[in-house]
Amino acid sequence: MKVFLIGLMGSGKSYWATQLAKKLKTGGYDLDSLIENLEDKTIAELFDEDGEDYFRKTEAKLLRWFGEKKAFVLATGGGTPCFHDNMAWMNKQGITIWLDEAVDTLVERLLPEKAYRPLIRDLNDDALKSFLLKKRAEREVYYGQAAHRISGKDISLKALQQIIQSHA
């Protein structure tokens, strides 16, 4: 079973990938962490030193590597579905699940992490909500292509397991 978790930064993709992978007894991965290990740079350093285009190409290449794996849960980066036909590719490969958290929840989660996230690190706290609303609107066309969508308080390990079981 190949599972791809998508959604905005702060939506819990990495957390739920770890939880779901443990429950399914399969590998759980975070695409951004894999990129950082591969490149020996943080995401912020990659954006600063090599640019977003380089990052997105590296991201797409590493994502395609998962085509060779049989079973996993992968937390993608927030922008992953929006570039290089990644969303269509993920839909062909496995189960795509959009974790659609409320923007206010995302703001609360992201405020302490701003320094580590290149797209938001220079935003003041008020600008963060506007940024997330804009990103959500831009990315909804891609996120909306996911086979499944779970929102807010409905996001749970049980709900994720039910989705997986519906594909078994």
- Give per-residue pLDDT as tens, 61-104: 999 999 999 999 999 999 999 999 999 999 999 999 999 999 99
Which CA distances in Å does 77 have to 6, 21, 25, 158, 165? 7, 17, 23, 23, 25
Give the global pTM.
Answer: 0.96
Domains of the chain listed by start with CATH number? 2-160 (3.40.50.300)
- Give per-residue pLDDT as tens, 39-48: 999 988 998 8
